[in-house]
Amino acid sequence: MIQREAPFIGSIALLRQTADDATEQWLASWDDVDDCFSFPFAERGDQPSYRTPLLSAVGERFALDPSRDFLISGLSRAHFQAPIDWRGWQSPQWVVVQFFSVDLYGRDALPKIERQSQLRWVTPREVATQRTQDGSPLSPIQCELIQRAHLIPVKDEVD
């Protein structure tokens, strides 16, 4: 995700589903640039809101039509801002991020998701460990931000 030395001011999209065993799962996609799974994100830039740039980011990352396949919450689920001392960086980096819930919409959205091999539903435990069950990495920066914002709590699970 944010593998640079500049501050990040933007938003992250969290699309959730409940699996058959009642486990919550969150949709991530493979990021060839950072070589890990990550959640859609967008820098705010000069946009009027944190939500606006996420429309195209979610559409592109999940190959969905923003006007037909998903809805982004009108309000952020959480706002997090703080200087963070990332491992390996010389000085703390200022981060301002808003997290938005995304819901699939329409009958075609889920089949579109299921056809894409670069997408993966990840569990809270995988977010906490920053690894999928098969050992693929999840974006450490995004996972750290999600944990600091207390968005995806890990419930006691039997391993």
pLDDT per position as a tens digit, 70-98: 999 999 999 998 888 777 666 777 889 99
Residue 159 lies in a domain: no
Residues 6+ apart with CB under 8 A from 35: 137
Residue 3 lies in a domain: no
pLDDT at residue 110 greater than cutoff 80? yes
Residue 70 lies in a domain: yes
> Kindly report the CA angle at 9 between 42 and 2, in degrees rounded to 5?
65
Residue whose entry in the numeric block shows the structure tokens 């693929």: 136
- Decide: helix, strand or coil at residue 11: strand
- The pLDDT value recorded for residue 3 is 45
CATH number of the domain that residue 44 is part of? 3.90.79.10
Residue 81 lies in a domain: yes
pLDDT per position as a tens digit, 113-157: 999 999 999 999 999 999 999 999 999 989 999 998 998 887 755
Domain of 49?
8-148
pLDDT per position as a tens digit, 4-47: 445 678 999 999 999 888 889 999 999 999 999 999 999 998 98
Residue 153 lies in a domain: no
Residue 125 lies in a domain: yes
- Work out the end-to-end distance of the chain between its first and last CA atoms, rounded to an integer number of angstroms: 29
Residue 78 lies in a domain: yes
Residue 98 lies in a domain: yes
Number of structural domains (the chain) is: 1
- The answer to whether residues 93 and 7 touch, using CB atoms and an 8 Å cutoff, is yes
- The answer to whether residues 41 and 10 touch, using CB atoms and an 8 Å cutoff, is yes
- pTM over 0.95? The answer is no
